Amino acid sequence: MALTSIGEETYSARHPLLQKNKFGGGCRSSSEEEATSKALFRVVGMTCSACAGPVEEAIKRLRGIHEAVIDVLNNQAQVLFNPNFVNLEKICETIQDAGFEASLIENEANETSTKVCRIRINGMTCSSCSSTIERVLRVTNGVQRAHVSLALEEAEVHYDRRLVGHDKLLDEIESVGFVALLISTGEDLSKIDLKIVGECVDESIKTLLEALPGVQSVEFHHGTDKIISVLYKHDVTGPRSFIRVFGGTKLKATIFSAGEEGRESQRQVEIKKYYNSFLWSLVCTVPVFLTAMVFMYIPWINHLLMFKVINMLNAGEIIRCVLATPVQFFIGWRFYYGSYKALRRGSANMDVLVALGTNAAYFYSLYSVTRAATSPGFKGEDFFETSSMLITFILLGKYLEVMAKGKTSDAISKLMKLTPDTAILLTLDNEGKVTGEEEIDGRLIQKNDVIKILPGDKVASDGYVIWGRSHVDESMMTGEAKLVAKRKGDTVIGGTLNANGVLHVKVTKVGSESALAQIIRLVESAQLAKAPAQNLADTISKFFVPLVISFSLLTWLVWFFAGKLHWYSESWIPASMDRFELALQFGISVMVVACPCALGLATPTAVMVGTGVGASQGVLIKGGQALEKAHMVNCIVFDKTGTLTMGKPVVVKTKMLKNMTLGEFYELVAATEVNSEHPLAKAIVNHAKEFRDDQENPAWPQARDFLSITGNGVKATVKGREIMVGNKDLMSQHGVNIPEDAEEMLAEAEERAQTGILVSVNRELTGVLAVSDPLKPSARAAISVLKSMNIASIMVTGDNWGTANAIAREVGIDSVMAEAKPKQKAEKVKELQAAGHVVAMVGDGINDAPALVAADVGIAIGAGTDIAIEAADIVLMKSNLEDVITAIDLSRKTFSRIRLNYVWALGYNLIGIPIAAGVLFPWTHLRLPPWFAGAAMAASSVSVVCSSLLLKNYKRPKMLDNLEICEVLVERNLSNN
């Protein structure tokens, strides 16, 4: 039974402002109507209706504006306008002139203008960097949303391609001092990066590539590696064609991935760079440390070191100065450069703290040795060991941090390794016979290629079987550990495992179009999206470094003047220092002990690991916001069909009320229902095939004037007769009389948790069908577990009350809403939210999409429709109800880890800064030397990342293992019966 496509209804549910009645029934001429476009803007900064008034008035003053409605609650403005007189950019500027930030969300005239691109960003060190890039991108005209991940070192940008291009986005990022590399354009084009090996790479190569059909643009990236980026239409050309271009030259081209492979390559370069820097720094620092802290206790060595070379300048100071200088200015150059970039863009980061702290120690030491060399009586102390040891420990910390951060994105690496490295490409003649085969790099597969899949090999790309029979293990996608039979015409998915036969597969989807690539993109987007909890770190990072610098100067001044005014005893001062040097050490320690990096990494690293673990468990969580909301859920609304039930209904009984053969009856019914995507419709069509000789692929009569009535059924004209298939409401609306025996069968079906379906021919009730959709084996146990977690369960379904109540009793749900249309499902969710519940909606159908969007957390069954999966926040790939529990439990564990990370990061700074400032010194004489403070700062970031990595050990609740065993046993019993 069809429930219709709810295109407009779903759209309105997503964006309440787009509902037609918001603008009333204003009349316009047809010519004016033709020149009307509708656009939705995001307006940031409105707090009350007093803010909305000026915005609305400013927009309406523009020529060509038909109407403007401001929604303060959702920070949105919808505008009806004539594009002949005013454009989107002008409207956006007008809102900004009124004092608010504005960006385009959707434009009815061209919804496809919104694109999403991913950009890799090198050079970020803390959350201050990522916040700066986000701020720059968001104020760029045409950018709707921008998410920058410090941990993933990537940005995801939603932009209007009519207002801005990805080249402009890269320029904006590089303008604030970072290196940006495009990973994907988000447009209807594929992008590939080729690494060129050879001496002479000139414009002739670019010309040759651009001459290929389907190539849109070619761009050179000159650097350590010679990279050429090619944008092309995958339907026309592909990577093999590009490689062939180099066959006639002295150059060699290989595929270079700017995605995970590129990120891993960059990470390895970064790891090696930090390792080498640390090693050289250590070589110079160890002698500095020994001459300053150890050799003084060895008399004969100390005597040599104290030998006066010029005036009071001794040999030890010269050694320390010579060795500390390259550490400060060559090895430590990255901190100067990072500080310059940060200060140039009006912010401050960790590099600023390190540069200030080490410079204070180094230049004071330089002053000290200069005075000693020019004065016969000056006695000073140098801090060369402080500056060099600071840099050494911080480099060690960064090296360990980069190593640990690389492990947080293992989920994507594992997903990418599912596809084979090589594939067997077949050459066919005009008759389709195989004339040759060749083993190629799996990344060189193009659309419409025919590839050979041997037993035990992985399927190299999405496509369909054109020859052969086999069984394929699709557990990678479905989570079900059983083999699926494949023969000619069946689809196969890239990354799945061919078990026993040989298959010839025609490739239909490559690159970003493939199912696996879409899952990878979903996980990547999830890891890029910020959790609301990250806002705390972003807010703190804006003020953190300036406050630390201020507190550091205050610490130095307090201790300096306390010494000058003799507020403390001279016995407090170490023998090797004076009052100024003691105060300076306290000030430097405060500056370098503070760590903004730990705060910036607390949330994104935990979210990355959490979403990665979820993906490995078959639970795809679309970002930090979904993860954060899920841990607060206290009420779950379940759809029935395909969610609580198996979603594979079967016709169990047919009652004829008119004199008609079953074959003729089901021919008329199937011809009508074959146009619907509803599970019940598919069950009826499958049952109808039993009465046909051509069961495999029957040709049903043509249905004319097909109409799907949401929540009621379908109507069409077949063989000149009006056929209606649906519920009692549908029949009542069209004046069809329902006899008593039909009523009895409907009641009997409801008592047995079956769905009764009425069929009328020419408005006379002709037959009644009973369709049964068995419960999922784990449904009752899953509801029971949710109750033990203090989560209420509610069932909302479009089915009749009798069937709904019977199913609810069977699974243990007390609250039921039946015969609900899509809009009513969404209203029920909003009603629960208004009552104070944090609501999750679990569904699988098109009719569930409005409720999935309205819910705080939308959870889609993986076997459901594309629209439901698109609307949801969480997708259960295995379609198992126990994964709802896994998703909620994982979100709770992840946010428990985030809280722990914040406690560690904030607690570290709250405890470390006062100790470094000398708060305990008057009572304990305990000082935190600057070099030790630097080591502690480096250790804090590593500790936070390692804390997040502990999520990799996540185990789903043990009770779910028992559920899974029960489910397998029930399935076996069903199959045996």
pLDDT at 322: 92
Note whether 253 and 194 are within 8 A (CB): yes
pLDDT at 375: 80
Is residue 456 pLDDT above 50, yes or no? yes
Decide: residue 159, CB within 10 A, 0-12 exposed, 13-18 middle, 19+ buried.
Answer: buried
Helix (H) or strand (E) holding 781: helix 779-788
Residue 519 lies in a domain: no
Secondary structure letter of residue 328 according to DSSP: I
Is residue 530 pLDDT above 70, yes or no? no
Q: Which two tokens stand for residue 31?
A: 């010519």
Average pLDDT estimate for 563-592 = 80
Q: Say if residue 134 is in the same domain as residue 237.
A: yes
Average pLDDT estimate for 837-865 = 79
Number of domains, the chain: 7
- Show Cβ contacts of residue 62 under 8 Å, excluding neighbours closer than 6 positions: 81, 86, 90, 91, 94
Whole-angstrom Cα distance, residue 39 to residue 80? Answer: 7
Higher per-residue pLDDT: 7 or 134:
134
Beta sheet of 792-796, edge-to-edge order = 619-621, 874-876, 857-861, 839-843, 635-638, 792-796, 815-817
**441 C-beta neighbours (distance < 10 Å), count:** 14
Note whether 492 and 464 are within 8 A (CB): yes
**Does 225 participate in catalysis according to the annotation?**
no
Q: Which of 647, 638, 646 is nearest to 795 (CA)?
A: 638
Q: Say if residue 464 is in the same domain as residue 368.
A: no
What is the identity of the amino acid at 776? Answer: K
pLDDT at 72: 61
Lowest mean pLDDT among 111-120, 158-167, 548-557: 111-120
Q: Say if residue 191 is in the same domain as residue 252.
A: yes
Average pLDDT estimate for 846-851 = 75
Note whether 393 and 329 are within 8 A (CB): no
Whole-angstrom Cα distance, residue 369 to residue 314? Answer: 9
Q: Say if residue 91 is in the same domain as residue 126.
A: no
Tens digit of each residue's pLDDT (9 = 90 or more) over 329-382: 999 888 888 788 777 767 776 777 778 878 877 887 888 888 888 888 766 677
pLDDT at 853: 80
What is the identity of the amino acid at 725? Answer: V
Higher per-residue pLDDT: 863 or 363:
363
Full residue range of the structural domain in which residue 41 is found: 37-104
**569 C-beta neighbours (distance < 10 Å), count:** 8
**Conformation bin of residue 362: beta by default, left when phi > 0, alpha when psi is -120 to 50:** alpha
Structure confidence at residue 852 as a pLDDT band (50, 70, 90): confident
Residue 707 lies in a domain: yes
Average pLDDT estimate for 268-283 = 86
Q: Say if residue 91 is in the same domain as residue 154.
A: no
Structure confidence at residue 866 as a pLDDT band (50, 70, 90): low
Q: Say if residue 741 is in the same domain as residue 825.
A: no
pLDDT at 635: 92
In degrees to the nearest 10, what's the CA dihedral of 840, 842, 848, 852? 30
Lowest mean pLDDT among 113-122, 174-183, 839-848, 968-977: 968-977
The average confidence (pLDDT) of the chain is: 77
Q: Which two tokens stand for residue 197?
A: 């090996």
Residue 536 lies in a domain: yes
Residue 25 lies in a domain: no
pLDDT at 9: 33
Note whether 885 and 957 are within 8 A (CB): yes
Q: Which two tokens stand for residue 69?
A: 């409605």
Q: Say if residue 732 is in the same domain as residue 781.
A: no
Whole-angstrom Cα distance, residue 507 to residue 713? Answer: 37
Is residue 930 pLDDT above 80, yes or no? no
Residue 135 lies in a domain: yes
pLDDT at 461: 85
Q: Which two tokens stand for residue 678?
A: 């509803």
Rounded to two decimals, what is the model's pTM? 0.60
Residue 275 lies in a domain: yes
Lowest mean pLDDT among 70-84, 446-460, 857-871: 857-871
Is residue 949 pLDDT above 70, yes or no? yes
User: Which of residues 850, 877, 904 is at a domain's end?
Assistant: 877
Is residue 448 pLDDT above 90, yes or no? no
Average pLDDT estimate for 19-38 = 43
Decide: residue 74, CB within 10 A, 0-12 exposed, 13-18 middle, 19+ buried.
Answer: middle
pLDDT at 30: 36
Decide: residue 469, CB within 10 A, 0-12 exposed, 13-18 middle, 19+ buried.
Answer: middle
Average pLDDT estimate for 589-600 = 74
Structure confidence at residue 283 as a pLDDT band (50, 70, 90): very high
pLDDT at 921: 86
Lowest mean pLDDT among 21-25, 203-207, 506-510: 21-25
Average pLDDT estimate for 76-97 = 81
Residue 22 lies in a domain: no
pLDDT at 280: 92
Q: Say if residue 217 is in the same domain as residue 123.
A: yes
Q: Which two tokens stand for residue 483?
A: 């083999």
In this structure, what CATH number is given to the domain that contains residue 710? 3.40.1110.10
Q: What percent of the chain has pLDDT over 90?
A: 5
Q: In sequence order, what are the beta bridge partners of 754?
A: 772
Q: Say if residue 232 is in the same domain as residue 283.
A: no
Average pLDDT estimate for 634-653 = 84
Is residue 759 pLDDT above 90, yes or no? yes
Q: Select, from the ranges 203-207, 481-485, 593-597, 886-890, the one with the highest average predicted confidence (pLDDT).
A: 886-890
Helix (H) or strand (E) holding 637: strand 635-638
pLDDT at 28: 38
**Active-site pick, 193, 462, 538, 639:** 639
Q: Say if residue 767 is in the same domain as residue 779.
A: no
Q: Say if residue 127 is in the same domain as residue 205.
A: yes
Note whether 548 and 913 are within 8 A (CB): yes
Is residue 140 pLDDT above 60, yes or no? yes
10-22 burial: b if 16+ Cβ within 10 Å, else e = bbbbebebbeeee
Structure confidence at residue 564 as a pLDDT band (50, 70, 90): confident
Rg (CA), the chain: 34
Q: Say if residue 684 is in the same domain as residue 787.
A: no
In this structure, what CATH number is given to the domain that contains residue 56? 3.30.70.100
Note whether 422 and 457 are within 8 A (CB): no
Whole-angstrom CA distances from 150 to 137, 164, 209, 554, 856 are 15, 24, 35, 31, 26
Q: What is the largest CA-CA distance in the chain?
A: 125
Is residue 25 pLDDT above 60, yes or no? no
Is residue 31 pLDDT above 60, yes or no? no
Is residue 45 pLDDT above 60, yes or no? yes
Whole-angstrom Cα distance, residue 22 to residue 33? Answer: 17
Note whether 405 and 607 are within 8 A (CB): no
Whole-angstrom Cα distance, residue 288 to residue 286? Answer: 5
Lowest mean pLDDT among 212-216, 284-288, 532-536: 532-536
User: Which of residues 750, 772, 794 is at a domain's end?
Assistant: 772
Q: Select, from the ranges 122-126, 526-530, 942-946, the one with the highest average predicted confidence (pLDDT).
A: 942-946
User: Which of residues 233, 262, 291 is at a domain's end?
Assistant: 262
Tens digit of each residue's pLDDT (9 = 90 or more) over 222-233: 555 577 777 777
pLDDT at 592: 74
Is residue 10 pLDDT above 60, yes or no? no
Q: Which of 875, 963, 956 is nearest to 619 (CA)?
A: 875
pLDDT at 636: 92
Q: What's CA 581's distance to the chain center, in Å?
A: 50
Residue 424 lies in a domain: no
| Contacts by residues 239-245 (CB-CB < 8 Å, ≥ 24 positions apart) | 239/192, 239/443, 239/444, 239/446, 240/440, 240/444, 240/446, 241/212, 241/446, 242/192, 242/194, 242/209, 242/212, 243/194, 243/444, 245/205, 245/208, 245/209, 245/212
Average pLDDT estimate for 956-970 = 59
**429 C-beta neighbours (distance < 10 Å), count:** 9
> Which segments of 315-433 are extended strands (E)?
422-428
